[in-house]
Amino acid sequence: MKRPLSLATLTFLLTCIAAVSANAQSRFLVLLNENQNASDSRRSVTYFDADDFDSGPLFSVFLGFDFPGNFEDPDTLAVDPATGDVYVTAFDSGDVGTGTTDTNGVIDIYKIPFNTVFTHWQTNFQGKNVRTLSGPLAVGGSAPTVDDSGIGGGGGAPYANGSNLDYVTYGRLNDIGNPAPSTIFSPFHANTFGLAGSIEKIGEVKRNNGGNFYEFSLDFVDEDTLFFMDESIATTATDTAVTDHTYRLLNRVSTSPGLASNYTGNDYYDGGYNLGTTESWESTRLGLVNSDFAAGLPIGHSEPESSAYYTNGTVRGVWVTESDSTPTTGGDDIMFLDLNASTPSNHTAGDLGLAVYRPISGFGASSFALDNDPSVSTSSNDGRADNIFVDSNGDLIIVESGFGDSAIPAIGVEQQPGVFRIPIDTYDNGSGEIVLGTPGPKFLLDGDAGFQRSTGDNSFLERGIWSTFDPITNNVYIVNPGSTEVSSGGGDVDEDPQFGMDIWSINVDTGVVQSFLDLDESVTMFLTAAFGDSVDFFTISEGVEGDFDGDGDVDGRDFLAWQRGASPSPFSPADLATWQTAYNGGLLSAVSSVPEPSSVFLIAMALGLVPCSRRVRV
């Protein structure tokens, strides 16, 4: 007769099984500061420990120069979730030098190998005030200053970026010591350290040569492919449907330099270049955004805002948000670009064609209009999508803006970003349609939480565009350029230092809000009320062998991920063997001393280590 498990044995078993599934990952938030002004983080990617924001930045990586004296112009970034490698695209305004190190009028692609930089930082700089080091690890540079004359009507008095300048900024060896174009950039960063391989210019690719300075969107597909939302083809304000924004795939041709096509046709066609690159990449157009139609034909001009790549092994595409042309009455449109159906164009003028969108069931179209809070109404069409993400299940995570809410009577003065989940019941209902599920509740960054600039004034955190989603914790992180000491009266909340960077997290399932204030004075996100600079955020993590769904543990759900092939690249039998070793080895070693296999299975199933049921999308 089998004996029931004793309390001690059960406790031991639960502890061991929990240990098998424990989150063994380290989580990082990376911030791209486009700012060309005098903040110490300018033109750089700064890394934070997402489990310890309060300690400030870990380190930063400076993009460098096109050629001596000319800063790169970074636009956006994407992260390889398997390695943490960061890809940055930079708008290239051209080479005014000899033309031997940079191609004029393209998109430069940079790569920051995470393991290279992180390992060096751990070994040499972790836990140290780098400004006190000497010898081979000595860094140099005095703290730059920032003129706050453009901030909130300030008096123009400069203030020092001194609070968090004990972290190291890595750069390419040939950029360290390069002459700066003016005294405002000299020294261009405090605490600079030249590290070979810390950042590489891996490619130059074609782009639309429009004149709108559109804030691009970039998504990681795999190590050979990036998805890129380009600006308009038109160079004037008279944009039309035939000169709309363009979807592109950026493809790696070779890990060796010099093999890109150097196509010399029209500016907005395909191709790549080879000056100063360590690899060879090319750009291939997929289609025009063309999100608005009448009588089956595209009309007007689209304004795409954000994108998020997703695949479940069968369906492969990108969710895209597009700003509505009537902001006071119409919600932003959301659509799914089907990458399996969209085909690249050739180099013939006028043949680009339409992007192929997967239809949305129940909407009679290939898009649906966003509501401010779809859990309350799915027909008000008054939402503003600041950002969009996709979780490991394929559900949509929307950051809904508070910007402009006071202009919409139905919303009033909410004026705070909120987050909600829109489940996707299936990506193919048998008729090729996507079926949306029931939206979850919208959770706001409540103004009463104490972060608003003054009593009743929520305006300082209206936007959710500087945000990222962590699929492990289901937290959306929103970065905010802090508050300022603008007045001694009127209920203003003074912060010290002025404009010290804040990070807020809001859980998309529970609505729990956390704040991490005044983290970094050396990051200046923008210097004017016009929001002239922009920042992108992504959470990256160190990989766990066998963790195919990226949730930080190895369990039965990872087998389902392997079975569906839902990864940046198709899984192999070797990957399955890795999962079996990590899952069975860890689980069996934990329970080997307990002679109750059926009980072990039931407990493991209850803990989620063995899936008993799951909603599977096809």
- Which one, of 480, 531, 462, 478, lies nearest residue 213 by Cα? 531
Which CA distances in Å does 7 have to 4, 163, 598, 602? 9, 52, 17, 16
Average pLDDT on 12-20 reads 42
Task: Supply the pLDDT for residue 320.
Answer: 96
Provide the pLDDT confidence category of residue 82 given band limits of 50, 70 and 90. confident
- What amino acid occupies position 373? D
Task: Supply the pLDDT for residue 481.
Answer: 67
Q: Does 452 have pLDDT greater than 70?
A: no
Between 494 and 133, name the one with better pLDDT. Answer: 133
Task: Give every CB contact of residue 4 below 8 A, 6+ residues apart in sequence.
Answer: none
Neighbours of 540 (CB within 10 A): 24
CB-based burial of residue 556 (10 Å sphere; 0-12 exposed, 13-18 middle, 19+ buried)? middle
Provide the pLDDT confidence category of residue 461 given band limits of 50, 70 and 90. low
Average pLDDT on 107-130 reads 92
Q: Does 523 have pLDDT greater than 80?
A: no
Task: Supply the pLDDT for residue 342.
Answer: 83
User: Looking at beta carbons, which pairs linking 227-235 to residues 24 or more positions away fall under 8 Å?
Assistant: 227/307, 227/309, 227/318, 227/339, 228/89, 228/107, 228/283, 229/289, 229/304, 229/307, 229/320, 230/268, 231/207, 232/208, 232/301, 233/208, 233/209, 233/268, 234/210, 235/209, 235/210, 235/211
Question: How many whole angstroms separate alpha carbon 32 and alpha carbon 50?
Answer: 15
Question: How many whole angstroms separate alpha carbon 388 and alpha carbon 401?
Answer: 11
Between 128 and 352, name the one with better pLDDT. Answer: 128
- Which one, of 283, 261, 287, lies nearest residue 273 by Cα? 261
Question: How many whole angstroms separate alpha carbon 508 and alpha carbon 512?
Answer: 8
Give, as one character, the DSSP assignment of residue 180: P
Question: How many whole angstroms separate alpha carbon 147 and alpha carbon 436?
Answer: 49
Note the pTM of the prediction, 2 decimals: 0.81
Task: Please say whether the dihedral angle defined by the alpha carbons of residues 571, 575, 579 and 582, taken in this order, is positive or negative.
Answer: negative
Task: Supply the pLDDT for residue 398.
Answer: 96
Scan for tokens 């035939």, then name that residue. 242
Task: Supply the pLDDT for residue 101.
Answer: 73
Q: Does 62 have pLDDT greater than 70?
A: yes
Q: Does 490 have pLDDT greater than 60?
A: no
Q: Does 527 have pLDDT greater than 60?
A: no
The percentage of residues in the chain with a pLDDT greater than 70, rounded to a whole number, is: 64
Average pLDDT on 529-557 reads 61
Task: Give every CB contact of residue 195 below 8 A, 6+ residues apart in sequence.
Answer: 116, 117, 120, 170, 171, 173
Task: Supply the pLDDT for residue 222.
Answer: 92
Task: Give every CB contact of residue 558 below 8 A, 6+ residues apart in sequence.
Answer: 546, 547, 548, 549, 579, 583
Task: Give every CB contact of residue 569 below 8 A, 6+ residues apart in sequence.
Answer: 222, 223
Q: Is the Cβ–Cβ distance between 217 and 229 less than 8 Å?
A: yes
The β-bridge partners of 70 are: 67
Q: Is the Cβ–Cβ distance between 21 and 590 less than 8 Å?
A: no
Q: Does 408 have pLDDT greater than 50?
A: yes
Task: Supply the pLDDT for residue 173.
Answer: 80
Task: Supply the pLDDT for residue 140.
Answer: 67
Task: Supply the pLDDT for residue 13.
Answer: 44
Q: Does 122 have pLDDT greater than 80?
A: yes
- Which one, of 513, 508, 514, lies nearest residue 375 by Cα? 508
Give, for 9, the enclosing helix (H) or strand (E): helix 7-21
Q: Does 12 have pLDDT greater than 50?
A: no
* Distance from chain centroid for Cα 407: 29
Task: Supply the pLDDT for residue 100.
Answer: 64
Q: Does 295 have pLDDT greater than 80?
A: no
- What amino acid occupies position 515? S
- Which one, of 57, 56, 54, lies nearest residue 514 by Cα? 54
Q: Does 38 have pLDDT greater than 70?
A: no
Task: Supply the pLDDT for residue 163.
Answer: 53
Task: Supply the pLDDT for residue 531.
Answer: 40
* φ and ψ at residue 245, rounded to 5 degrees: -60, 155
- Which one, of 339, 334, 220, 239, lies nearest residue 285 by Cα? 339
Question: How many whole angstroms separate alpha carbon 611 and alpha carbon 472?
Answer: 18
Question: How many whole angstroms separate alpha carbon 18 and alpha carbon 485?
Answer: 48
Average pLDDT on 76-84 reads 87
Task: Supply the pLDDT for residue 121.
Answer: 95
Question: How many whole angstroms separate alpha carbon 241 and alpha carbon 220?
Answer: 27
Encode 13-54 in three state secondary structure: HHHHHHHHHCCCCCEEEEEEECCCCCCCCCCEEEEEECCCHH
Task: Supply the pLDDT for residue 611.
Answer: 41
Q: Does 535 have pLDDT greater than 80?
A: no
Average pLDDT on 517-523 reads 71
Task: Supply the pLDDT for residue 613.
Answer: 37
And the tokens for 98?
């000899």
The percentage of residues in the chain with a pLDDT greater than 90, rounded to a whole number, is: 26
User: Looking at beta carbons, which pairs linking 156-160 to residues 24 or more positions away fall under 8 Å?
Assistant: 159/497, 159/498
Pairing of strands 435-436, 443-444: unpaired
* Distance from chain centroid for Cα 312: 20
Which CA distances in Å does 508 have to 118, 424, 544? 30, 15, 24
Residue-wise pLDDT tens digits, 300-324? 888 888 999 999 888 999 999 998 7
Average pLDDT on 418-422 reads 95
Task: Supply the pLDDT for residue 601.
Answer: 44
Average pLDDT on 437-445 reads 93
Average pLDDT on 234-249 reads 81
Average pLDDT on 379-383 reads 84
Task: Supply the pLDDT for residue 307.
Answer: 94
Q: Give the chain's mean pLDDT.
A: 74
Task: Supply the pLDDT for residue 329.
Answer: 57
Average pLDDT on 559-576 reads 63
Q: Does 114 have pLDDT greater than 70?
A: yes
